[in-house]
Amino acid sequence: MKNTLDEYRSRDGLSQGELAEAVGVSRQTINAIERERYDPSLELAFKLAAQFDCPVEALFDPGLDD
């Protein structure tokens, strides 16, 4: 799924490891999400949105508008 996770992460100056630690997953999971190889669960998507204080749809684009 298309996402802007790396942009938000860079904005806050976080490494993948630090973000992973903050939301309770592995660094590899954050990397896989940023590379659009893994779609996070709803729970993780909401945790990430809460971490960056933004709505979930600002982070993830399911591409339903096509």
Binding site residues, another protein, CB under 8 A? 15, 17-18, 20-22, 24-29, 32, 38, 40-41, 43-44
The secondary element (H helix, E strand) that includes residue 60 is strand 60-61
CA of residue 37 relative to chain centroid, distance: 12
Question: Rounded to the nearest whole angstrom, what is the least distance from the CB of residue 4 to another protein in the complex?
Answer: 19
The rounded distance, in Å, linking the Cα atoms of 32 and 9 is 14
Question: Rounded to the nearest whole angstrom, what is the least distance from the CB of residue 46 to another protein in the complex?
Answer: 13
Question: Rounded to the nearest whole angstrom, what is the least distance from the CB of residue 52 to another protein in the complex?
Answer: 16
